[in-house]
Chains A and B, each alone.
Chain A
Amino acid sequence: MKAMNIVNAVNDALDIKLAEDQTIVVYGEDTGFEGGVFRVTEGLQKKHGVERVFDSPLAESGIAGTAVGMAAAGLRPVIEMQFCGFIYPAFNQIISHITRMHNRSRGKYKMPIVIRLPYGGGINALEHHSESMEAMFAHIPGLKIVVPSTPHDAKGLLISAIESDDPVLFLEPKRIYRAIKQEVSEEKFSVPIGKAKVLSQGTDVTVVAYGAMIREVQKAMVMAKEAGYSVELIDLRTIYPLDKETIAGSVKKTGRIIFVGEEPRSFGVGSEIMALANEEAFLHLEAPPRRVAAFDVIVPYPRGEHHYMITPEKIFYEIERTIKF
């Protein structure tokens, strides 16, 4: 065991997989020599060689498009998009090829590609550096989407993502990259894709969240406990495929559900969770399912971001409203 933050854990997972599988290559903008702008890949080029961990030209469509060819020719590329807001030039390659080549070739060409994507707000960044647009990707058939909230899960989920024969969008909550330290095994282990985790058992309300929002919910839960409410917290860990069983089972038990996410509220992951609660647990509901999510506005620049970010107080407010409904 070793104390790791999420940056260390992602680095460790890449290091383990690079050492064990020669078909893995890791590349992106500043990913090689410098180790990425967040230093997530630091030291990997030195250890595994410049052919395997490298800097690509500055072009996101190029990064994603070349990964398609590499995967077709037998490699397992792990590509990095520097920030969530920079992924859009690669969108065509993701929606037109990465997620379609397996289907188009009737299974002949698998696309074992991992797209690492630091996402989310709360870091006082410039425009285009704070978005949480995972729902856009969740809407694309052919893609799997995972989001760790802890160093342990970051390592285990990334190992699963790299070993998956399907393309995986690996969202990294950059706000908590270095905020949490945890004892993590230095050995290889994996956390399965498609399985949510019940972080706290409770009886009054189910809260579903992921990524950096988990910590905010946990702060709200301290307030809820003081108020005498029992909250069940589910860390989604995988957005697609959604662990319907865990969520529906929990709602059937508590009768109430709140989604907490930093994504724009409408047509989002939260909307899907609301639909799920209605479809799978309608007769168990004692209050309307609620979303605590961002406004449907452009993420304000740092001076105004406090209006936008989800706070523990806001989460507690919604928990109380839902329980008292």
Chain B
Amino acid sequence: MFDQFDPAEDKMLQVIDNNGKVISKELMPHLSDDEMVKLYKDMLFVRTLDAMIVSYQRQGRVFTYPPNYGQEAIGVAAGATLRHEDWLVPAFRELGAWLAKGVSVREVFLYAMGHEDGFKFEDANHVLPFSVPIASQLLHASGIGYAIKYQKKDEVAMAFVGDGGTSEGDFHEALNFAGVWKVPVIFVVQNNQYAISVPVKMQTASMNIAIKSKAYGIKGLKVDGNDIFAMLAAFRYAHDYARKEQQAVLIEAVTYRKGAHTTSDDPSKYRTTEEEMEWDKKDPLRRMKLFLEKKKLWSDAEEERLTDEYKKEIDRQFNETEQSVQYPLEDAFRFTYAEMPQDLRDQQIEHEKFLQWKNARK
């Protein structure tokens, strides 16, 4: 597959076209009808959840949130590839992968509500919290890769970054370390065309992002990130390769951020409606839905019914989370150190004395 889609020839792995028609049958991942429908349902759930969080933000019930709108196929395909023991090193726009790894909807809400408890990941194995300083997390994946190899474990680490992140030094250091150390890490660049307002052509003069793999002696693949079958085929292949060969892989997933960078951003300032409409044709859910409809596996009625069901459940969980969220003073102190210094205890006690005084004053 790496030779067939050599990034130096700017080839892109695709399985279905914009109308859901299979264009490379031999690359279609082995999936039962039920598994195909599950992938679609997962994307639909991510899209519904994502849109609802944005609406909660508009209602002032959550803080800043980075939407996944338009990029759902990548996270869902990653989630369908990673095993319980594999590591997920997120950036912040891979909702489908978090959920598949066991991050709860409640935790996603807590994070959006501005609470560190959203990163507890109580039922998720081997998932790092989201990383805000761009690309810095990729080095963590290289380190996890080293630990996997050193401990002789059968695990793979998958790390995410955006197209803007490929300009950061840590991107290059991470790929270089992983290349030199020969460790099982899959680096995934979600090339969604923009880093906030800056288009990808202002980030790099390379013909594509996947080609950067060559400089570090690792394999690279450019994949249609809005084609869930292509993403799954690429991830499965890369996962198998990373495990068996103990080598790193760079995957560029070509996609489009249909939403804003975060809820504080207004994309109409830096991109055109024409461009957005062009990408609407490549929408990952639309393409897979057309594919499923041809196979008589999906219908509008089913979609409407399920979306409604998702919305009710999401809203129920949101209300429950909203009503139960608490942040006691001690939570601001107790996790700064594994072993809390006396000085921090003293600072907490001092503040509690002030609070007692304040309450007595009322």
Partner-B contacts on A (CB < 8 A): 25, 51, 56-57, 59, 61-62, 64-75, 77, 89, 92-93, 96-97, 101-110, 141-142, 144, 164-166, 194, 240-242, 244
Contact = CB atoms under 8 A, between A and B. Distances in A.
Given A102-B337, A241-B341, 13 more contacts: A61-B169, A62-B142, A65-B138, A72-B143, A74-B147, A75-B147, A96-B136, A103-B336, A105-B120, A105-B128, A108-B120, A166-B339, A241-B342
**What does DSSP make chain B's interface, helix, strand, loop or mixed?**
helix
B136 A97 contact: yes
B170 interface: yes
Given A65-B139, A141-B336, A240-B341, A70 B170 contact: no
Interface string B146-189: 11101100000100000000000110011011001000000000
A62 B133 contact: no
B158 to A, nearest CB: 12
B258 interface: no
Contact of B119 (A70, A72, A106): A106
B144 interface: yes
Contacts of B145: 69
B337 A105 contact: no
23 contacts: A57-B173, A57-B176, A57-B180, A59-B176, A61-B139, A65-B140, A65-B142, A65-B170, A66-B146, A69-B146, A70-B144, A73-B147, A75-B150, A89-B169, A97-B140, A101-B129, A102-B337, A105-B119, A109-B129, A144-B337, A164-B339, A241-B342, A242-B343
A105 B129 contact: yes
B136 A73 contact: no
Contacts, number: 141
B231 to A, nearest CB: 24
Contacts of A56: 177
B170 A61 contact: yes
A66 B341 contact: no
Given A65-B143, A74-B151, A97-B140, A106 B120 contact: yes
Interface of B: 87, 89, 116-117, 119-121, 128-129, 131, 133, 136-148, 150-151, 157, 169-170, 173-174, 176-177, 180, 334-339, 341-343
> 7 smallest A-B Cβ distances: which pairs?
A69-B143, A65-B139, A66-B143, A73-B147, A241-B341, A165-B338, A62-B173
A230 to B, nearest CB: 30
The winner among A68, A69, A103 for most chain B CB atoms within 10 A is: A69
A67 B143 CA distance: 6
Contacts of B144: 69-70, 72-73
Nearest to A111: B338
Nearest to A69: B143
A110 B338 CA distance: 7
A271 to B, nearest CB: 16
Given A103-B116, A106-B116, A240-B341, A72 B140 contact: yes
Given A74-B147, A103-B336, A107-B338, A68 B140 contact: yes
A105 to B, nearest CB: 5
Contacts of A73: 87, 143-144, 147-148, 151
